[in-house]
Amino acid sequence: MTQQTFAISGRNPRAVIEQLAGNLTVQPWERQEISVETDGPVAVLQQENDTVVIRDCRSDLRLRIPAIKRVIGSIFTDIEARQVDRNVAIEGAGNVLLDGVGGNVFLRDTYGNADLANVSEVVELFATGGNLRAASMPRLRSQRGIGGNAVLKNIARSELDAVGGNLSLEHAETAAIDVVGGNLDADGIAARLTCNAVGGNADVSGSADAEVALSKVGGNLQIEGAKSVRSSMVGGNLRAAVAFPPESHNHFHVGGNTRLYLPENASLTIHAIVGGNASGDSATFAHGGGFVNLTYGEGAATLNIHVGGNLRLFGGGKPRRTGASWADFTTGRAGFGREWADFGHEWASFGREMGRLGREMGRSIAAAFSEPYQPGKYD
């Protein structure tokens, strides 16, 4: 067994691990020392200023690292590990960089950024104070929030509870997110994307089989290439190109304007309430607000949409239509038209409120990491 302790004099200690044949376990303590313990041989174990370098370790490796929260002069230890054959478990670190892990990864209470790549099994995060970058892994789960931005690439399945800043997804099978405080940018969604709330704008592109469910979007929403959209409340404008497969039911509530790009020879029934104008490629269906019912083809799919501004439809063929203006509904129903005319203003207010809540959420997550470190607090 090798056991050695290295004194730390500065405020930015670091441990660098390369080529580890076993498991890596890192735990915090309130000493200004890095403790290294391993059961097998180590080719390199040395200190360079406040950096401890461990290279070519042939067994499990256990570290104790400084994690000292002060009003002034906190000390957290950065961890860099490359080519770890088995599992990694890290708690109470500063920045974390992992590249090439043969097993699972578990990070708890990381006070800096996390940069993770090429993990063979599951990654679990519990309270991440800074930004997250993760690439090339089968599954990632996050609880108790990511304080900054998150960029995820080539992850088959992602499950996130809250991202304080912006979230970027690239090439994912499925992704399930509770709340994004900033903007959501999702490119290459293969199967399914769900998100309860986005404080800013959302831009989503998916495969022809992708299902999208974005419950609330404070800003603008753009969707390209998805099969269906279950339900979305949008504070700003909507631009969408959706396949609308037979028997699907799609819902939008939009505060601003809407532009819909329909598939060729669409089979879709649209029930729309608009505050402005509604028009297609060669016809105007409502002017100055109204109810619009349109049937394309056999009308096998259904779209219910409320638009505070204008509705513009592109493609889909020539619909059969019925419609009405607000004037047709004023007799005997005083105020009905005026109430719907205020629809766009109300949803614009919704968008501003969502944006404010998103910013507050980001600050709240970041503030949680200003508390003194308490081992086992969230156990």
C-alpha to C-alpha distances, 165 to 14, 132, 135, 185, 336, nearest whole angstrom: 27, 10, 18, 12, 40
Mean pLDDT across 111-137? 97
pLDDT band at residue 207 using 50, 70 and 90 as cut-offs: confident
Q: Quick check: 302 pLDDT over 80?
A: yes
Q: Which residue would you say has higher pLDDT here, 53 or 74?
A: 53
Mean pLDDT across 16-23? 97
Please tell me the distance from the alpha carbon of residue 316 to that of residue 244, in angstroms, as a whole number.
11
Q: Does residue 32 sit in helix, strand or coil?
A: coil
Q: Which residue would you say has higher pLDDT here, 89 or 321?
A: 89
CB 202: neighbour CB atoms within 10 A? Answer: 28
pLDDT at 170: 95
pLDDT band at residue 130 using 50, 70 and 90 as cut-offs: very high
Q: What's the mean per-residue pLDDT of the chain? A: 87
Q: Which residue would you say has higher pLDDT here, 267 or 338?
A: 267
- Angle in degrees, CA 225, 119, 16, rounded to 5: 135
pLDDT band at residue 366 using 50, 70 and 90 as cut-offs: low
Mean pLDDT across 204-219? 88
What percent of the chain shows pLDDT beyond 70? 84
Closest CA to 55 of 35, 80, 75: 80
Q: Quick check: 246 pLDDT over 80?
A: yes
Ranges of H-type helices in the chain: 336-341, 343-368
Please tell me the distance from the alpha carbon of residue 14 to that of residue 284, in angstroms, as a whole number.
66
pLDDT band at residue 336 using 50, 70 and 90 as cut-offs: very low
Q: Where are the domains of the chain?
A: 1-147
pLDDT band at residue 375 using 50, 70 and 90 as cut-offs: very low
Q: Which two tokens stand for residue 258?
A: 């809407």
Q: Which residue would you say has higher pLDDT here, 283 or 259?
A: 259
Q: Quick check: 2 pLDDT over 70?
A: yes
What H or E segment, with its residue span, contains residue 166? none
Q: Quick check: 228 pLDDT over 90?
A: no
pLDDT band at residue 221 using 50, 70 and 90 as cut-offs: very high
Contacts of 47 (CB under 8 A, 6+ apart): 6, 53
Residue pair 101/79 in contact by the 8 Å Cβ criterion: no
Mean pLDDT across 186-208? 92
Q: Quick check: 28 pLDDT over 70?
A: yes
Q: Which residue would you say has higher pLDDT here, 198 or 361?
A: 198
Mean pLDDT across 109-116? 96
Q: What is the DSSP string of 87-150?
A: -EEEES-SSEEEEEESS-EEEEEE-S-EEEEEESSEEEEEEE-S-EEEEEEEEEEEEEEESS-E
Mean pLDDT across 342-364? 60
Q: Which residue would you say has higher pLDDT here, 228 or 337?
A: 228
pLDDT at 19: 97
Q: Which residue would you say has higher pLDDT here, 225 or 79?
A: 79
pLDDT at 332: 39
